[in-house]
Structure 1
Amino acid sequence: MLTALEILQKHWNHSSFREPQNEIIDSVLSGKDTFALLPTGGGKSICFQVPAMMMPGICLVVSPLVALMKDQVTNLQKRDIKAMALTGGISTDEMSDLLDNAQFGNYKFLYLSPERLQSEWIVDRLKNLPINLIAVDEAHCVSQWGHDFRPAYLKIAVLKTHFPKVPFLALTASATDRVKQDIIVQLQLAQAAVFQKSFARDNLAYMVFDVEDKLYRIEQILRKNPEPSIIYVRNRKSCLDVSSQLGALGFKSTFYHGGLSTKEKDQHMQLWMNEQVQVIVATNAFGMGIDKANVKTVIHIQLPENLENYYQEAGRAGRNGEKAFAVLLHAPSDVIQAENQFLSVLPDKKFLNEVYIKLCNYFQIAYGEGIDEQHPFNLNHFCTKYQFPPLRTYNALQFLDRQGILSLSQEFSEKITLQFLIESKEVIRYMSLNPNDEEIMLAILRTYPGIYDMPTAFNQSLIAKKSNRSEQEVHHVLEKLRDRHIIDYQSRNNDAVLVFNEIREDDKTINRVSKYLDNQNQLKVAQLRSVLDYVANKNTCKSRLLLGYFGENQTKDCGICSYCISRNKKPDVLSLTKDVLELLKAGAKDSREIEKLCAQNFGVEGSDVIFALQMLLENEIIVLHPNNTYTLKN
């Protein structure tokens, strides 16, 4: 039998394990229940994939993230390792066939969501599988105090009854001490071996800057650090706007958000991964499976929802061990915006119930029906129809998704329907007169025999493949046929695909999960408060603040964060204040003008100038006016 290191070298082409991967693998191989807290980039998947390859049988992986499951299955298959995932939208018959394959097809990994464990027949089928390890990914979801709690995770402990001798491995990238203890209790991990890698990142400088002109500060950072960078924003519109603004400044950039098609996501991702562009502007949809070691800067230009997410996103910088920067740009108005965005839009029980009932009505689902139904879904259309506020509605749908009542896939989808409007003999005549279109049209007719009788769902990429033509050529032919009134061709975009996981029971459904709603709302308030405290605190090392949040008591300052640098540079900045005062004697100036003049005349960077301005303001030597200009105090 190959050793763990030989498995790693053979399938993953790595020459050594990261600490403490090897110890976790040894714990699992010895049959112990194990808890592993590995911050982002710590290589959690290796901890269950390697030992599973060393033992006969199949590893059961419970994960809440469909995109992550698909990503890991694809990566395993590329390494000639047999893996499958039971994701949403799969019929019962298909599910049964897949489980047959898992049982008899020599598979090594079976991924499924925790909601699947609520189906007794699936659990019964799992009992027949030669399971060698049960890995619980994103294990913080099992705790009510975790930042993405899912009640379905509580069902995982049932597997303990059916597989008493199979070791459990719980993995998470972010958990406070309270969450860690809760995970161990809820999953019933017996005498768990606990492995916790420090959250400290010695090479990562956490920088928080109070700025008025964020774009100007971004420009400064990117010009000084021309290596690969990520800029995180809160919504799709900001993705496009910031990327466009960077382009106008001469930076090569692209963008990434949940509204892009899979093909577009891959294209934009590869531009950045291959360093054809310096910057990728992204929402939090970007990150899963990203393993680019030389990211120099991660910049947040809006406040994050919680420090758990911020730590993971910031931690994508500097994985090669070289110095890197996690920058958070903050303006006074950001606090109000964050409270409006994260707190004022939290749904209460009454609103949640109303959204759920209207959603069922929207899709004409009768009481007691609807389970496993799948629907294209446009949030804006739904909100307009029922006059719901979009953000609050989206949060309600996300809550219903986390509770397993429905699954909301935010994968952009394009639904195409097609129907021929002329008789078959006329179609044949057209093909004889237009031989360049014949191959595509024959592929359509062979694939969709009922296309003369009714509008038929149409897969453009499938027809491109069957006709050995590009999707663009297929699209061109369809448009030409539509313009000539040969076909009826409808293309409709949807923001999401929505799957109902339960029958409709209205109040009964909502009453069952509403007890978790208050807890989650209170948790979100506390989490945002921690973010605001992190930003506002001017007297503590930023690295120590983050470590303290995650339960690590660090007594030594990092020496490289914005606090540490400002403290060390105070004597230099004191002399700079005189220069700033000289500039202001000539008249009122905003911070951008002052920074430019200081850079030109004194060779001083923006962070030092901002610190000098703050000192002068605190000592009431200068005044900041409503139009964001500074003047000397009279």
Structure 2
Amino acid sequence: MQQPLEILKKYWQYDNFRDPQDKIIQSVLDGKDTFGLMPTGGGKSVCFQISAMLLPGICLVVSPLIALMKDQVANLASRDIKAIALAGGLSAEAISDQLDNCKFGDYKFLYISPERLQADWIVDRIKELPINSIAIDEAHCVSQWGHDFRPAYLKIAYLKQHFPSVPFLALTASATKRVQDDVIKQLGLENPAVYKKSFARENIAYMVFETEDKLHKIQQILTKNPEPSIIYVRNRKSCHNVSQQLNALGYKATYYHGGLKEGEKATNMKNWLHEKVQVIVATNAFGMGIDKPNVKTVLHIQLPENIESYYQEAGRAGRNGEKSFALLLLNKSDITATENQFIAVLPDKKFLKNVYVRLNNYLQIAYGEGIGQTFPFNINAFCNQYNFNVVKTYHALQFLDRQGIVTLSKQFSEQITLQFLVPSKEVLRYISLNPADEAMLLAILRNYPGIFDMESSINSDLIIRKTKATEKELLALMQRLKEKQIINYTSKGTDSTLTFNEVREDDHTINRIAAFLEQQNKIKVQQFSAIEHYATNTDRCKSRLLLDYFGETDSTNCGICSYCIRKNNKPKNIVDVANDVLKLISEAPCTSRKIESELALTAQETITTLRLLLDNEKIKINTNNQYTLK
């Protein structure tokens, strides 16, 4: 029989395992239930892949992300290892054919989403397969205390009844002690071997900088560190804006988010992986399965939703072991903006019930009916009719989806999809010649800045509301522009489908799941408080703050984070700094930015010194916003 190290060398071309990969693999080979906590970049997938390669039969891998499943199947195929993923969009017949392939085709891996396990016929077919192990990826989703709880994961425990002698392997990159214990309990793991790798990343300098001019700070960072970088933002619009700004400043940048077509995602990713561009500006849709070892800098320019997400994304820096940087840029409005985006839009029980009842009325579902019915559904039109906040409503529908009450398709393609085929100056020329179309065109240009670069989905209800036009007028404009070859345009009747999985029962339905909602909201608030504390705390090492959160309370100061550097550096004498400023501006007028750069000052040191000199009437500001001697 081959040994794990032989398989590693043959298929992955590595000479050694990372701790504790070899221990986890051996535990599975010994037939034990196993829990592995390995931070981002620790090589979780290798643990179940190598153990499965050494056992007769097929490994069942439960994974929450279609993109990650596809990526791993493609990765295994490139190593001549046979794997199948029951991804979204497959018909029952296609799924049946795939399961036949698993049974008779000598496949080693079957990837499946937890939602697929809710179909009894699929479970029955899986029971016919020679399962050698069951791997649960992103296992924190099993726990109601996890940052991405998915009730469908609870169904995995039923597999224990069908495969009592098959080892279960639960893997996650981010879980507190409470989440770890809950995962083990919910999955029914029997006396599991537990392996944890420290969350400490000694080569990453975690830094938090407060700055009002984030773009200038990004310039300084990218110029000082010209190696591959990732900039994380919160929405698709920011992806395009920041990427365009960086390219305009002479940096090579691209972007990545969930709204791009697969071909565009692949091209942008390839350009970054092959270092044709320095920077990729991305939402949290980017990163799963990406293992680029020489990322020097990971920048978050907006506050993340929670520490788990931040740690995973920051951990994509420095996987080659060399010193790297995880930077968070803040300004005074960021805390409030993030709270408004993630906390203020959490639906309470009253709002959830209102959405559920209105949804049934909107789709004409009678009490006691609706189970199994599927409808085309436009969330913007629904919210428009009942004057609901779109984001808050989406969270409510997503919660109903996760509780199994409804199924909301995730393939959103809003009513109008378009891309400008001519440059912006030609669009402005058209507007000057057709003033009646100005309001609608300007609303589109202002709300969709990337529309010249890519095909974009347009929220027609938003444009209509902003311009007080009718839908008929907007569609007529689109048709005229298409005929003049100004835009490429398609019109679709809906942006999703919605399926009811239970009969309508109003109070009974909502009361049954309300406790889950309250608990999830409480967790979200706690998580937000934790990331806010990390971002604003000035009295503790940043690395230790992260380790504290994950239960490693016996750590020491890292020596390289923003806190440690500030603590170790002696504060500059303000009189000496003031004299340096006076000497510099005596040679030529300077902006505050130039003073900060030339004298290697912090933003706070610059502001304090300039205020002192202004108060003492040693300097003044000219009409070009430069400081000169008085």
Both structures adopt the same fold (TM-score exceeding 0.5): yes
Q: Structure 1 pair 533/490, CA: closer, same or farther in 2 (3 Å)?
A: closer
Q: Which residue of structure 2 aligns with residue 505 of structure 1?
A: 504
Q: Which residue of structure 1 aligns with residue 594 of structure 2?
A: 596
Asked if the contact 1:89/1:372 (under 8 Å) is kept, the reply is no
For residues 101 and 129 of structure 2, what CA distance do their matches in structure 1 show? 10
| Aligned partner (choices 593, 596, 604) of residue 610 of structure 1 | 604
Aligned-pair distance for 1:347? 1.0
Q: Structure 1 pair 12/191, CA: closer, same or farther in 2 (3 Å)?
A: same
**1:65-107, CA deviations, whole angstroms, 9 ceiling, x for partnerless residues?**
2221222222222322222222333333333332222222222
Matched, 1:252 2:246: no
Where 1:346 maps in the other structure, the secondary structure is coil
Asked if the contact 1:61/1:137 (under 8 Å) is kept, the reply is yes
Q: Return the letter of the residue paired with 1:594.
A: S
Q: Which residue of structure 2 aligns with residue 126 of structure 1?
A: 126
Q: Return the letter of the residue paired with 2:604.
A: I
Q: Return the letter of the residue paired with 2:72.
A: Q
Aligned-pair distance for 1:296? 0.9
For residues 270 and 197 of structure 1, what CA distance do their matches in structure 2 show? 31
Q: What is the correspondence of 1:161-172 to structure 2 with a 5 Å cutoff?
A: 161-172=161-172
Where 1:171 maps in the other structure, the secondary structure is strand
Alpha carbon RMSD of aligned pairs, Å? 3.4
Q: Structure 1 pair 122/565, CA: closer, same or farther in 2 (3 Å)?
A: same
Q: Which residue of structure 2 aligns with residue 441 of structure 1?
A: none
For residues 381 and 573 of structure 2, what CA distance do their matches in structure 1 show? 54
Structure 1 length as normaliser, TM-score? 0.79
For residues 220 and 52 of structure 1, what CA distance do their matches in structure 2 show? 47
Where 2:591 maps in the other structure, the secondary structure is helix
For residues 500 and 538 of structure 1, what CA distance do their matches in structure 2 show? 49
Q: What is the correspondence of 1:235-634 to structure 2 with a 5 Å cutoff?
A: 235-359=235-359, 368-369=369-370, 371=372, 373=374, 379-406=379-406, 408=408, 410-411=410-411, 491-492=490-491, 497-498=496-497, 500=499, 502-505=501-504, 507=506, 508-572=508-572, 577-579=577-579, 582=582, 593-600=591-598, 602=599, 604-605=600-601, 608-611=602-605, 613=607
Most deviating of 539-548 and 506-515: 506-515
Q: Structure 1 pair 510/62, CA: closer, same or farther in 2 (3 Å)?
A: farther
For residues 90 and 414 of structure 1, what CA distance do their matches in structure 2 show? 22
Where 1:106 maps in the other structure, the secondary structure is coil
Where 1:132 maps in the other structure, the secondary structure is strand
Gaps of 5+ in 2: 418-478, 617-624
Aligned-pair distance for 1:614? 6.6
Asked if the contact 1:260/1:412 (under 8 Å) is kept, the reply is no
Q: Structure 1 pair 333/609, CA: closer, same or farther in 2 (3 Å)?
A: closer
Asked if the contact 2:142/2:183 (under 8 Å) is kept, the reply is yes
Aligned-pair distance for 1:613? 4.4
Q: Structure 1 pair 15/386, CA: closer, same or farther in 2 (3 Å)?
A: farther
Where 1:32 maps in the other structure, the secondary structure is coil
Q: Return the letter of the residue paired with 1:551.
A: G
Structure 2 length as normaliser, TM-score? 0.80
Q: Which residue of structure 2 aligns with residue 92 of structure 1?
A: 92
Q: Return the letter of the residue paired with 1:173.
A: A
For residues 7 and 19 of structure 1, what CA distance do their matches in structure 2 show? 17
For residues 329 and 63 of structure 2, what CA distance do their matches in structure 1 show? 33
Q: Which residue of structure 1 aligns with residue 619 of structure 2?
A: none
Aligned-pair distance for 1:492? 3.3
Aligned-pair distance for 1:595? 3.6
**1:25-60, CA deviations, whole angstroms, 9 ceiling, x for partnerless residues?**
011101111000011111111110111111111111
Q: Structure 1 pair 527/584, CA: closer, same or farther in 2 (3 Å)?
A: farther
Aligned-pair distance for 1:252? 1.1
For residues 34 and 160 of structure 2, what CA distance do their matches in structure 1 show? 14
Q: Which residue of structure 2 aligns with residue 430 of structure 1?
A: none
Q: Which residue of structure 2 aligns with residue 45 of structure 1?
A: 45
Q: Structure 1 pair 201/156, CA: closer, same or farther in 2 (3 Å)?
A: same
Asked if the contact 1:258/1:410 (under 8 Å) is kept, the reply is no
Q: Return the letter of the residue paired with 1:610.
A: Q
**1:197-232, CA deviations, whole angstroms, 9 ceiling, x for partnerless residues?**
110011100000111111111111111111111111
Most deviating of 391-400 and 172-181: 391-400
Asked if the contact 2:370/2:500 (under 8 Å) is kept, the reply is no
Aligned-pair distance for 1:112? 1.5
Identity among equivalent pairs (%):
59
Aligned-pair distance for 1:497? 4.7
Q: Return the letter of the residue paired with 2:523.
A: L
Q: Return the letter of the residue paired with 1:371.
A: G
**1:352-389, CA deviations, whole angstroms, 9 ceiling, x for partnerless residues?**
234345556666777644638485x6544443344321
Q: Which residue of structure 1 aligns with residue 70 of structure 2?
A: 70
**1:302-331, CA deviations, whole angstroms, 9 ceiling, x for partnerless residues?**
111000000001111111111111110111
For residues 24 and 149 of structure 1, what CA distance do their matches in structure 2 show? 24
Q: What is the correspondence of 1:128-147 to structure 2 with a 5 Å cutoff?
A: 128-147=128-147
For residues 302 and 535 of structure 1, what CA distance do their matches in structure 2 show? 11
Asked if the contact 1:258/1:285 (under 8 Å) is kept, the reply is yes
Q: Return the letter of the residue paired with 2:183.
A: I
Q: Return the letter of the residue paired with 2:549.
A: Y
Most deviating of 322-331 and 181-190: 181-190
Asked if the contact 2:141/2:149 (under 8 Å) is kept, the reply is yes
Q: Structure 1 pair 393/494, CA: closer, same or farther in 2 (3 Å)?
A: farther
Most deviating of 522-531 and 83-92: 83-92
For residues 334 and 124 of structure 2, what CA distance do their matches in structure 1 show? 51
Q: Structure 1 pair 69/300, CA: closer, same or farther in 2 (3 Å)?
A: same
For residues 278 and 500 of structure 2, what CA distance do their matches in structure 1 show? 42
For residues 362 and 228 of structure 2, what CA distance do their matches in structure 1 show? 44
Where 1:570 maps in the other structure, the secondary structure is coil
Asked if the contact 1:410/1:496 (under 8 Å) is kept, the reply is no
Q: Return the letter of the residue paired with 2:546.
A: L
For residues 32 and 14 of structure 1, what CA distance do their matches in structure 2 show? 25
Matched, 1:32 2:26: no
Q: Structure 1 pair 79/56, CA: closer, same or farther in 2 (3 Å)?
A: same
Q: Structure 1 pair 494/39, CA: closer, same or farther in 2 (3 Å)?
A: farther
For residues 616 and 490 of structure 1, what CA distance do their matches in structure 2 show? 54
Asked if the contact 1:346/1:395 (under 8 Å) is kept, the reply is yes
Q: Structure 1 pair 338/62, CA: closer, same or farther in 2 (3 Å)?
A: same
Q: Return the letter of the residue paired with 2:160.
A: K
Q: Structure 1 pair 34/389, CA: closer, same or farther in 2 (3 Å)?
A: same
Aligned-pair distance for 1:118? 2.4
Q: Structure 1 pair 116/328, CA: closer, same or farther in 2 (3 Å)?
A: same
Most deviating of 57-66 and 94-103: 94-103
Matched, 1:20 2:44: no
Aligned-pair distance for 1:512? 3.7
Q: Structure 1 pair 36/583, CA: closer, same or farther in 2 (3 Å)?
A: farther
For residues 136 and 542 of structure 1, what CA distance do their matches in structure 2 show? 31
Gaps of 5+ in 1: 418-478, 623-628
Q: Work out the number of aligned pairs and report it.
A: 550
